[in-house]
Amino acid sequence: MTTPTPEEPRDERVPVTVLTGFLGSGKTTLLNRILTEQHGMRIAVIENEFGEVGVDDALVLDSEEEIFEMNNGCICCTVRGDLIRILGALMRRREKFDHILIETTGLADPAPVAQTFFMDDEIAAQLRLDAIVTLVDAAHVLQHLDEVKPEGVENEAVEQIAFADRIVLNKTDLVDESAIAEVTARIRAINSGVQIIPAQHAEIYLPQVLDVGAFDLERVLAEDPSFLTETEHQHDTTVTSVGIDLIGELDEERLNRWLGTLLRTKGVDIFRSKGILALAGAPKQYVFQGVHMLLVGEFGRDWRDGEERRNRLVFIGRDLDREALERGFADCLATAGAAA
Amino acid sequence: MPLGARPGQSPQLRELRQSVRRLLGLDDDTAVVIRQLACAEPGCPPLETVIAVLPMNGQARRWALHATAEEITEDDLRAALLTPSSEGA
């Protein structure tokens, strides 16, 4: 569980880790390690196929991917119907586990999985998305990233990296230093703030991926203050990150209008958004996380005495217009004059 | 409060969920998902409320009501849920 500060109550929601990665990336190896290692956590696993290892203590549930559209034809509003059904039943056995891990298939789009935790009030009240962990095969990821897809078909490898909070760069023993540097640069070009964990045979220190609070922006920023805005190195890629760091207080109405319009019109291309904002007149920080057009936000900690009112946010997505995003956001400042 | 609300804090959604369960006579194993969504269709109000019912076994159903959760009355809900126009997934 996330460590509470004296200012906030303990978060009792069950942390959920989503494990993605292409076939051959080492996902099953990592999952088997999580299931068999003595780490002291009771983990309920939802996977697409039963694993090959015998598991005595863990709760393992099989699930078949079912994409459910909440809104006709809107990809931003797709959720995983199978997860909704299973999670409800699982939560009635709440005393049997401390953590949920969801393994997706190699070709799965992470969006419907993530959106499942943003779609419904009741699910969001009981479960918190802790992190999206993507396994990457250091030896083969570049060919997956460079694969040209037919018009309208997503490159799943790019999406899985764009959505990730943690990337396990696996099989580093099969490539040399320069290849690792190249893969790292390509990953950073897509998702600049992601934490990359090099590994061989998926051997990682599990606390690096379990219960890390990657969706808890305050915790992330405490560990890496530049997380939201370290996006200066642009590469020739259509999926990128845009970070904004702006001093000042925001006009809530203008912010609502801008963010609402942005997510409604560009939500398909904005994979993830996150930020900590200073609303004019609010004594607390406003913290939000979004997946496509779905967004969950709440007030966080108090602004401290003398602390500069500062807004930090990041968008990760396809064909992002950095200038338009910066300009649109700057127009939300309370000091920006008449409403845009 | 900007877009997106603190999870689990909306009494309207909680009441709506209870009403859906009661009107459709749902068992505990059936999941009910409710979300207010911004509809991009021309002529639609800025927010609509989508209700999805997913039984453990059987087909999921979905209804879109062109109103915010706060505006939906019990009569509106009954009329929507009990008409045969519910959409399958």
Long-range contacts of A334-339 (CB under 8 A, 24+ apart): A334/A248, A334/A249, A334/A250, A334/A251, A334/A280, A335/A248, A335/A249, A336/A251, A336/A254, A339/A251, A339/A253, A339/A254, A339/A257
Q: Are residues A194 and A321 in the same domain?
A: no
Residues A313-333: pLDDT tens digits?
989 999 999 999 999 999 999
Q: Are residues A103 and A142 in the same domain?
A: yes
Q: Is residue B6 part of a domain?
A: no
Residue A278: is its pLDDT beyond 90? yes
Confidence of residue A33 (pLDDT cuts 50, 70, 90): confident
**Last residue in a domain, options A183, A215, A247:** A215
pLDDT (average), residues A158-177: 94
Q: Which residues of B touch A288 (CB under 8 A)?
A: 2-4
Q: What percent of chain A has pLDDT over 70?
A: 87
**Last residue in a domain, options A182, A215, A248:** A215
Q: Which residues of B touch A256 (CB under 8 A)?
A: 2-3
pLDDT (average), residues A166-183: 96
- What pLDDT is stored for residue A122 in this prediction? 85
Nearest by CB to B38, from A119, A121, A260: name it. Answer: A260
Residue A117: is its pLDDT beyond 60? yes
| pTM: predicted TM-score of the whole model, two decimal places | 0.85
Q: Is residue B3 part of a domain?
A: no
- What pLDDT is stored for residue A230 in this prediction? 62
Q: Are residues A142 and A68 in the same domain?
A: yes
Residues A52-92: pLDDT tens digits?
444 555 678 888 888 888 877 777 788 999 999 999 888 88
Q: Are residues A206 and A266 in the same domain?
A: no
Q: Are residues A126 and A185 in the same domain?
A: yes
User: Of the segments A5-14, A99-108, A251-260, B9-18, which one has the largest average pLDDT value?
Assistant: A251-260
- What pLDDT is stored for residue B37 in this prediction? 81
Residues A213-224: pLDDT tens digits?
887 766 666 666
Q: Are residues A253 and A145 in the same domain?
A: no
Q: Are residues A271 and A144 in the same domain?
A: no
Q: Are residues A31 and A170 in the same domain?
A: yes
Q: What percent of chain B has pLDDT over 90?
A: 43
Residue A293: is its pLDDT beyond 70? yes
Q: Are residues A183 and A284 in the same domain?
A: no
- What pLDDT is stored for residue A53 in this prediction? 47
Q: Is residue B65 part of a domain?
A: yes
Distance CA A268, CA A221 (A): 27
Q: Is residue B1 part of a domain?
A: no
pLDDT (average), residues B31-57: 81
Most B-contacting residue of A63, A71, A266, A299 (CB-CB within 10 A), to test interface:
A71
Nearest by CB to A121, from B10, B29, B40: name it. Answer: B10
pLDDT (average), residues B38-49: 70
Which domain, by its residues, includes A286? 239-330
Q: Is residue B2 part of a domain?
A: no
Which domain, by its residues, includes B42? 11-88
Residues A255 and A279 sit within 8 Å (Cβ to Cβ): yes
Residue A2: is its pLDDT beyond 60? no
Residues A197-207: pLDDT tens digits?
999 999 999 99
Q: Are residues A29 and A101 in the same domain?
A: yes
- What pLDDT is stored for residue B44 in this prediction? 61
Nearest by CB to A252, from B2, B6, B7: name it. Answer: B2
Determine whether the interchain pair A124/B33 forms a contact, defined as Cβ–Cβ distance below 8 Å.
no
Q: Are residues A136 and A184 in the same domain?
A: yes
ipTM for the complex?
0.84
Angle CA A282–A286–A291, to nearest 5: 155
pLDDT (average), residues A108-135: 89
- Computed over every residue of chain A, the mean pLDDT equals 85
Q: Are residues A44 and A98 in the same domain?
A: yes
Closest to A163 in 3D by CA, of A89, A86, A215, A222: A215
- What pLDDT is stored for residue A326 in this prediction? 95
Distance CA A284, CA A130 (A): 23
Quote the tokens at residue A11. Answer: 């978060």
Say if B42 is an interface residue toward chain A (CB within 8 Å): no
Residue A152: is its pLDDT beyond 70? yes
Determine whether the interchain pair B4/A126 forms a contact, defined as Cβ–Cβ distance below 8 Å.
no
pLDDT (average), residues B64-73: 90
Q: Is residue A230 part of a domain?
A: no
Nearest by CB to B50, from A70, A256, A265: name it. Answer: A70
Please report, for the domain that includes residue A256, its CATH number.
3.30.1220.10
Q: Is residue B5 part of a domain?
A: no
Looking at the 3D structure of chain A, how many domains does it have?
A: 2
Q: Is residue A220 part of a domain?
A: no
Got the DSSP string for B2-36?
-SS--TT--HHHHHHHHHHHHHHT--TTSEEEEEE
Q: Which residues of B touch A260 (CB under 8 A)?
A: 3, 38, 46
Residue A41: is its pLDDT beyond 90? no
Determine whether the interchain pair A125/B7 forms a contact, defined as Cβ–Cβ distance below 8 Å.
yes
- What pLDDT is stored for residue A1 in this prediction? 44
Residues B48 and B24 sit within 8 Å (Cβ to Cβ): no
**Last residue in a domain, options A200, A215, A230:** A215
Q: Is residue A5 part of a domain?
A: no
Please report, for the domain that includes residue A127, its CATH number.
3.40.50.300
Looking at the 3D structure of chain B, how many domains does it have?
A: 1
Residue A339: is its pLDDT beyond 60? no
Q: Is residue B50 part of a domain?
A: yes
